């Protein structure tokens, strides 16, 4: 990756790779043979964060992040994912494609291709 790269890798467990940028967090899961098995792309990190995920086992899902902040009179709760409906997939694809050059090429291609195949929402 380039030194001016928007994404940087966060070292973590051996069965996943985690990349972070100001716009996105991308977690990629690896199968036993080290092939790509799924991903979660978190976007709008600083305002109403959401997540698009795909895995071999579960297919696609789109979720909102409930930050746990909005509990008047109570301590902040741990963030959780909650189902969320329609979203601007074209905007997310475009933003991801604008900075995908900073990811390893196989991961960038895998995520971009999988986002292109996201089922049409009626």
Q: Is residue 110 part of a domain?
A: yes
Domain around 26 = 8-116
Whether the Cβ atoms of residue 41 and residue 53 lie closer than 8 Å to each other? yes
Tally of structural domains, the chain: 1
Compute the half-sphere exposure of residue 28: CA atoms within 13 Å on the CB side of its CA.
Answer: 20
* pLDDT over 90, % of the chain: 48
Give me the pLDDT at residue 46, please.
85
Q: What is the pLDDT of residues 43-52, one digit of tens each?
A: 998 888 899 9
Residue 2 lies in a domain: no
Q: How confident is the model at residue 57 (pLDDT cuts 50, 70, 90)?
A: confident
Residue of higher predicted confidence among 36 and 69: 36
What pLDDT is stored for residue 10 in this prediction? 60
Assess if residue 121 is contained within a domain. no
- Structural domain contains residue 21: yes
Q: Is residue 3 part of a domain?
A: no
Number of H helices, E strands in the chain: 2, 7
- Taking 60 as the threshold, does the pLDDT of residue 110 lie above it? yes
């Amino acid at each position: 990756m380039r030194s001016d790269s928007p994404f940087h890798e966060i070292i973590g467990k051996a069965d996943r790779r985690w990349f972070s940028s100001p716009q996105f967090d991308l977690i990629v899961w690896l199968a036993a043979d080290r092939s790509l098995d799924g991903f979660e792309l978190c976007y709008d990190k600083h305002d109403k964060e959401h997540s698009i995920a795909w895995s071999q086992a579960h297919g696609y899902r789109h979720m909102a992040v409930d930050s746990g902040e909005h509990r008047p009179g109570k301590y902040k709760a741990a963030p959780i994912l909650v189902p969320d409906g329609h979203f601007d997939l074209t905007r997310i694809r475009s933003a991801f494609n604008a900075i995908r050059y900073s990811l390893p090429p196989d991961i960038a291609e895998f995520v971009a291709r999988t986002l292109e195949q996201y089922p049409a929402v009626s």
